[in-house]
Amino acid sequence: MDIKKYEYFRLEEIITLYKSVGWTNYLERTGILEEAYANSLCVLGAYDSDRLVGIIRAVGDGQTIVFVQDIIVLPEYQRKGIGTKLLKAVMEKYKDVYQMELLTDNSEKTKAFYRSVGFTASDDMGCVAFIRM
């Protein structure tokens, strides 16, 4: 499994990833995906030979904040350490950033995953997150 910079945006493979995990909001607005990827701070892909099997996309300034916008691994490749490798690659790249954040669903599985790689829930820090969609 190779983790490397995702350099050439291919809508078909990105749609395959998003569909595989049921992220339909992006699929309803595919026209913005290429621009979103182009304007991201960092995009890394996980490859099984030439096949894209996972992706992580981060936004921010790279100095004071990095926000992990997307992290997706094809279901048949999950629970093999790929998500961890992707996230750790971003964490290493921005190891000196003041704050790294992400927003995710409130399931025990997801919370356990992010805690296992060193993240803390904002409410555990006496903080609260706000969102407007």
Query: Is 133 domain-assigned?
Result: no
Contact yes or no for 87/71 (Cβ under 8 A): yes
Distance in angstroms (rounded) separating the CA atoms of residues 91 and 114: 12
Q: Are strands 42-48 and 99-102 parallel, antiparallel or unpaired?
A: unpaired
Task: List pLDDT tens digits, range 52-88.
Answer: 999 999 999 999 999 999 999 999 999 999 999 999 9
**What's the confidence (pLDDT) of residue 3?**
97
Domain count for the chain, please give it.
1
By C-alpha distance, which of 20, 83, 92, 28 is closest to 56?
83
Its domain, for residue 119, covers: 2-125
Q: Would you say the pTM of this structure is higher than 0.85?
A: yes
Residue 25 confidence (pLDDT) above 90 = no
Residue linked to tokens 């060193």: 118
CATH code, 57: 3.40.630.30
Lookup: tokens for 33: 């995906």
